[in-house]
Structure 1
Amino acid sequence: MMLKRNLPDMGWRYAFAGSALGAVAPLAFAAGALASAGFSHGLLAFPAMAIGLAATTALATGGIGGVMASRFGRQLERRARFAEAERAGTRDLYHTAYHDALTGLGNRHALSRDFPAFAAPRSDAAERTADQAVVLVMDLDRFKFINDTMGHLAGDAVLRALTTRLRDGCGRDSRIYRLGGDEFVILMQAPGNQALLAGIVRELIQGVFRPVHHAGTEIETAGSIGITFCPVEGDSLSACLRRADLALYEAKEAAGAAYCFYTDEMERDDRSRRRTELDLRQGVESGALRIDYQPILEAGSLQPRAYRAQIGWTHPEHGEIAPQLFMAMARESGTMALVEQWHLRQVLDDAAGWPAEIAVVLRISVEEVARPSFASQFAQMLSQRKVAATRIVFEVEFGNASARLIGQARGLLETLQAMGVRIAAKAITRGAGDLDPVAAEPVGLWQADLNDLRAVAKGLSLSDTLKAVSDLAAAVGVQLCFQNVDSEGDLALVSQLPDALVDGRIAGPGLSNAEVAAMAGIHSPPAVLSAGNVCSLPLSVALAAAH
């Protein structure tokens, strides 16, 4: 027990025990020889005993040395295994740090590491003339829609399939990176001739953007590619990616899979757009924006029933900017929420000073409606200004919103409807595919585009078509408003349905808040608004109706 306690290592215990036995053995042999042969003969045994003692000592020393060598060897082996594990762990960490986990492609860190060598000027002048460093930025169309409607597994399958196709299509000399989401970057040495490179890119698009089979279904794929050369020695990665992104922005304006080469004009346009976006933000903060109120009329009486609130902006340098343009700028620059919140507050401030029977129609994005706090904040704004919720009609812009976002918005729209707010939706004029996502829900107003109805009618009577749409609206108990009523002929046609509403240029230009208030004092008060009764009137028509 003492030996086990003092020498816990098994090898050392066996070595010590063997050495002790080896040392005792010659002494025992010598004592036995002396006892049996007498002293004289026993003396002769001393040389043999000395030889045995020396041999035993050597064996014991060798045993202890062997144990020490074995122990040292095991320590060296353990240290070697530990060092190899550390090297393997370092390699794994390095691979993880520089590669995308889903596709195995290099990530943004790898792109930053590889780009300087890729963009460095080549030594051979002839090769520099033939090939040139090219950066391609690619992203997918409808990738968010795929994730939201089919699940992230489907999105992952699409990314892996496209990665394989990119590797096959780009060749071994190209390098492919995934920067996150659906954005890919390709570095390649390609012909400096733009026409030749365009042919290569077209072949790449044809090979990459094909349907992906997943879970028994085919997922259609498409995307856009922005292309830029790296002609400047020492050109930075950020500069090249910026140019490629500008070209990508232009390519996305085209329908379907498309590509675009960077031009200097894109840089100038981008600088101008950024200055305008900054001006827009400052315009919101300084009060440079305004609200124009477009009248909406009742077809039979030509009396105003509501006003459509639309943001107007006269730029100090560029003059009047179309609402669609600066709202698109607001969306791209991230100022959309700021603009919409200003719009809503200003409209409610104006409506608070109008007669209680006048309604107002506001266009609002699905992102704003889907904010969890929007309904409660809007209710508080109504209460502070003492504006009835029944005077508000929301036109919700769904655009390319995801199914998840539309689902969130629907729930909050129900809350708004419970407060008394009315929702406007597009009527069925071009087919079920053009029906607004909220049209299946109870709404306060159906909007039917007169131009679309003409296209639907074709050889049929337009009057009969309008009557059929009106009957359908009456059957489901929804107020009908005809849009794009721009001429006297349009007004005469729609006036055959006296309960319908009229929205278009025939009602005249937009009015200021002061003009709306003045109009309210001229004409006789219209009937009290019902749950779906929404309309508006132009200044010229209002004056005629008043007299």
Structure 2
Amino acid sequence: MRRPFNPLSDILGSMTSLWSDLSLGVDEDRAPDAHQLQFEQAATAWPAALLTQILAAAMLLATAMTVGLHDLLAPIAVRGGLVVLLGVVALALLKLSAPRNWPPHIKVRLSLIYATGLGAGLFSMLWMTTHVSNGTLQLAGFVAVFGAVIVTAMALQALRAATLGYAGALVATIALHNGLGVVTSIAAVFLACLIIATSGLARLDRAQAEARDADTNDGNLALRLIREFEDHGSGWFWQTDRQGRLVYLSPQVANEVSTPDNEAIGAMLTAVFKVDSASPDTERTLGFHLSSRTSFSGYSVRAAAGGTERWWSISGRPILDGLNRFQGFIGNGSDLTEKRKSEAEITRLALFDGLTGLANRQRMRLALDQTLAPQGGGFGSPALLLLDLDRFKAVNDTLGHQTGDALLKQVSQRLLRSVGDAGLVGRLGGDEFQVVLPREANRDRLAELARAIIASLSQPYFIDGSSITIGCSIGISIAPVDGEDSETLVRNADLALYAAKADGRGIHRFYREELLHGAQNRKQLEDDLRNALPQNEFHVAYQPVVSTKSERIVGYEALLRWNHPTRGAVSPAEFIPVAEDCGLIEAIGEWVLRTACADAATWPRDIRVAVNVSPIQFANPALPAVVTNALARSGIRPDRLELEITEGVFLNNEDASSEQMFKNLKTIGVRLALDDFGTGYSSLGYLKKAPFDKIKIDQSFVRGAAVAGNRNAAIIKAIVTLADTLGMETTAEGVEVQDEIALIRELGCSHIQGYVYGKAARASAVLEQLAAKGGMATATGYRVSRSPRTKMLRTARVATEGIEGEVRIRNMSSTGAMIDGIEIDGEVDGIDLLIELLEGQMFPAKLRWAADGKAGIEFAQTFNMERLNPVAQAPAIRRSG
């Protein structure tokens, strides 16, 4: 809709525009506007304006001289000189470089001041001609001033203020020259039209200048933001031409990818950056997108020259002009270096052990899966070694976890040196390690490597001034015989490791099929064990404990028995370890304790009952409460209950907690016995603190104690002496032969327990046994001890009373042998003979009995059985390695 014409409003608008022009650019930070261009144009056109001013002054002087007005020459020359001087100054300012940088409003104001001064000078010259009647001089003055004003206005063409100033000067000149007549009115109308036109042009110029200023300011702001983003952020920008050559690249990236020989700007984009082919986001190459002119996003790239280890992510799109013509590519990028480092660190943490730097469980599983994969292309069958450190827990408990960590680091270094490039070494956690050998299935070489690893890891370690010695056990499985997948292979190696530990530790074992059967049987046993207590499959049997002095029964040991519905009787040695491993031992132990106390309540008041306590039960702070409850329910005195504790409690518990547990149990009033003495892992130091009432000598020291040449009797004597010194009783376990009773009594042991006085029986049989002979025990079984015999079938030469012959040895021990092939009539006991046990060596012996072609002989001296076949022992030693 067209705006209605309003002269007064337009005149006021022009005045406002004039003032806007005068105040334009007060903010020095604004970009140059139209006045800057006008300034440049004025500098070009001003010499002509200056020439016009000189001509105007010269013409007035010449006219005054011509008409004879010599009195006006001096004033005209002075005023003309001032006008020319102002023109020269203006020309100098326009040509100098410094004024070109002045703010626009300064230039506008200087132009207005100059226009006003120049107009005043020219007007004063013209004013002089109005007082002269000479028409020639008046006409000359008008022409000169008018020409100077017009040309100068042309030089200052776009400066509206200067134009209005000159126009006003002209109208004033006409009014002074002609008065207020028709000519002056016409000039005034023209001036009004000029004001209206000028005001419109001023508004238009103002709008255009503001629009240009806004665009310039927006552009400057965008440029500043881009520079700030490029200088301080991780992002950057790039642009190529139609051929794919870089025409712009953010400076910091350009410095990274440029080399002294090859600048990035001007080079092909594909020559500056290379794409990470391993990146999952990289579906196509950069060259493809540049040639097909298609957009791309999120490509991981690095410098093609390889001079930097930085990574970037770039995106780009084609740019088109107004006619949809392709002009090149434009895009942005961001720095991926820190992200890559973070991802690498995350990967390292996810696949490597943080303590030792070895591969962790996850990476070992991936490596094993890749090795077993058909596409792996490996030659040979992979093997897996599982390692477990022996006695490492003791290091952690005694020297602290910091020392334990340092030890694990040294172990990992030794393990790496032992394995070398043959396989991948990893730590599964704790003191468990794993080795994957991709192409090694030879058992001899695997055994050699295992022995080398064990020997290396068993050498002393020196940490913080301490010398530490540990061991190592290894289980080995080989694919595909021992498993075609990683899960099976690891399981079977673990079974082999378990077998190595069971066989004495510090050795290696290969997986065997029977190990799996044993594990499956153990698992089935565990499942059955969980149902045994609820289904009342357990019962308690009692074995008598007899005094060596009176041969009276003074107590019974409660022994747990399990009658399985299908397996029959299961040995405690088989199911007790399973119960401890699966967490059932506490419930079972509490049941045994309650049952034993309840049965003991039916016995005479002087008969004690002994109950075994597992180290797991002993570690439970609730044990005193369980014991107190069992005593309260049965009603027996606390001193009739004897708790048998093995040396394992000192290995598995802290000293402070063990001492407190002993104190709490003794406060109740029960007796404490140290079971299986001499077979544990502790030193004798705990005997100074633990308040034991009895030491039970393990049956391994009792059996064979009566056999000649055996050292067990000396060991028993030492234990009895120690116990007497500490005020403790002693019980010899596992006595089976009657001649051992006299020996045990002679050695000073206070009690005997074993098959010699009967096997363990149910509670009902205990009452019958106590009532039968008034509590006296009766010895049964073999009367005389003899050495263990080895079955064999070999020929030997014998000689007796001058007669020689050959016999066959059926079995043999260190003290005698049974032979056949000899016929002797009459009494034979005590007949001397010689027998060839070793080639060329005859040994003296006595004939003790003979019947049905068989005979028993007793050697005059104990014979070392190892001398029979020393060579045969070597393979057994090697196999145990």
TM-score bracket, normalised by the shorter chain, equals 0.7 to 0.9
Structure 2 residue 346 is matched with structure 1 residue 93: yes
Q: 2:615 — aligned with what? A: 366
Select 1:109's aligned residue among 343, 349, 362: 362
Report the TM-score, using the length of structure 2 for normalisation: 0.52
| Separation (CA, whole Å) in 2 of partners of 1:352 and 1:207 | 58
- The Cα of 1:35 is off from its aligned counterpart by 2.4
Question: Residues 369-419 of structure 1: CA distance to partner in whole angstroms, max 9, x if unpaired?
Answer: 111122123212322332322111111123386364454233212110111
Structure 2 residue 226 is matched with structure 1 residue 72: yes
Change (3 A) 1:430 1:511: closer
Q: 1:447 — aligned with what? A: 696
Q: 2:153 — aligned with what? A: 43
- The SS at the match of 1:286 is coil
1:138 and 1:223 in contact (8 A); partners too = yes
| Separation (CA, whole Å) in 2 of partners of 1:514 and 1:43 | 140
2:564 and 2:570 in contact (8 A); partners too = yes
424-433 or 20-29, which deviates more? 424-433
The aligned runs of 1:80-159 (5 Å cut-off) are 80=235, 84-121=337-374, 128=379, 131-159=380-408
Q: Which amino acid aligns with 1:510?
A: A
195-204 or 496-505, which deviates more? 496-505
| Separation (CA, whole Å) in 1 of partners of 2:502 and 2:565 | 28
| Separation (CA, whole Å) in 2 of partners of 1:83 and 1:179 | 32
- The SS at the match of 1:291 is strand
2:731 and 2:749 in contact (8 A); partners too = no
| Separation (CA, whole Å) in 1 of partners of 2:715 and 2:376 | 73
Q: 2:288 — aligned with what? A: none
Question: Residues 252-279 of structure 1: CA distance to partner in whole angstroms, max 9, x if unpaired?
Answer: 1233421111122221222122222322
| Separation (CA, whole Å) in 2 of partners of 1:216 and 1:383 | 54
2:548 and 2:750 in contact (8 A); partners too = yes
The aligned runs of 1:118-267 (5 Å cut-off) are 118-121=371-374, 128=379, 131-172=380-421, 174-231=423-480, 235-267=484-516
Structure 1 residues not aligned, in runs of 5+: 1-13, 526-536, 542-547
- The SS at the match of 1:287 is coil
| Separation (CA, whole Å) in 2 of partners of 1:267 and 1:431 | 29
Q: 1:507 — aligned with what? A: 757
1:227 and 1:248 in contact (8 A); partners too = yes
Change (3 A) 1:233 1:364: closer
| Separation (CA, whole Å) in 1 of partners of 2:711 and 2:337 | 85
| Separation (CA, whole Å) in 2 of partners of 1:240 and 1:355 | 59
Q: 1:531 — aligned with what? A: none
The answer to which structure has the higher helix fraction is 1
Change (3 A) 1:120 1:431: closer
Change (3 A) 1:394 1:231: same
1:485 and 1:504 in contact (8 A); partners too = yes
2:545 and 2:751 in contact (8 A); partners too = yes
Question: Residues 152-191 of structure 1: CA distance to partner in whole angstroms, max 9, x if unpaired?
Answer: 1121111111111222222246222222111112222132
Select 1:32's aligned residue among 110, 113, 130: 113
- The SS at the match of 2:533 is helix
- The SS at the match of 2:387 is strand
135-144 or 400-409, which deviates more? 400-409
Q: Which amino acid aligns with 2:758?
A: G
Larger radius of gyration: 2
| Separation (CA, whole Å) in 2 of partners of 1:352 and 1:509 | 21
1:294 and 1:538 in contact (8 A); partners too = no
Question: Residues 313-372 of structure 1: CA distance to partner in whole angstroms, max 9, x if unpaired?
Answer: 234444433322222232334433333222222222322333332211111122211111
Change (3 A) 1:234 1:446: closer
- The Cα of 1:215 is off from its aligned counterpart by 1.1
- The Cα of 1:98 is off from its aligned counterpart by 2.6
2:371 and 2:382 in contact (8 A); partners too = yes
Report the TM-score, using the length of structure 1 for normalisation: 0.81
Q: 2:766 — aligned with what? A: 516
Change (3 A) 1:236 1:311: same
- The SS at the match of 1:367 is helix
| Separation (CA, whole Å) in 2 of partners of 1:26 and 1:194 | 99
| Separation (CA, whole Å) in 1 of partners of 2:641 and 2:669 | 8
| Separation (CA, whole Å) in 1 of partners of 2:642 and 2:483 | 57
| Separation (CA, whole Å) in 2 of partners of 1:79 and 1:120 | 42
- The Cα of 1:138 is off from its aligned counterpart by 1.0
| Separation (CA, whole Å) in 2 of partners of 1:516 and 1:184 | 52
Q: 2:737 — aligned with what? A: 487
Select 2:661's aligned residue among 407, 412, 419: 412
- The Cα of 1:502 is off from its aligned counterpart by 1.9
1:298 and 1:499 in contact (8 A); partners too = no
| Separation (CA, whole Å) in 2 of partners of 1:49 and 1:204 | 97
| Separation (CA, whole Å) in 1 of partners of 2:418 and 2:713 | 57
Change (3 A) 1:171 1:464: closer
- The Cα of 1:305 is off from its aligned counterpart by 1.1
The aligned runs of 1:392-471 (5 Å cut-off) are 392-399=641-648, 402=651, 404-405=653-654, 407-425=656-674, 435=684, 437-438=686-687, 440-448=689-697, 452=701
Q: Which amino acid aligns with 1:422?
A: R
Q: Bigger relative contact order, structure 1 or 2, given CA contacts below 8 A and separation 6+?
A: 1
The aligned runs of 1:523-534 (5 Å cut-off) are 524=774
2:732 and 2:749 in contact (8 A); partners too = no
Q: Which amino acid aligns with 2:233?
A: R
1:363 and 1:394 in contact (8 A); partners too = yes
Select 1:272's aligned residue among 510, 521, 535: 521
1:134 and 1:230 in contact (8 A); partners too = yes
1:133 and 1:187 in contact (8 A); partners too = yes
Question: Residues 469-501 of structure 1: CA distance to partner in whole angstroms, max 9, x if unpaired?
Answer: 656544433223333333322223444589922
Change (3 A) 1:33 1:466: closer
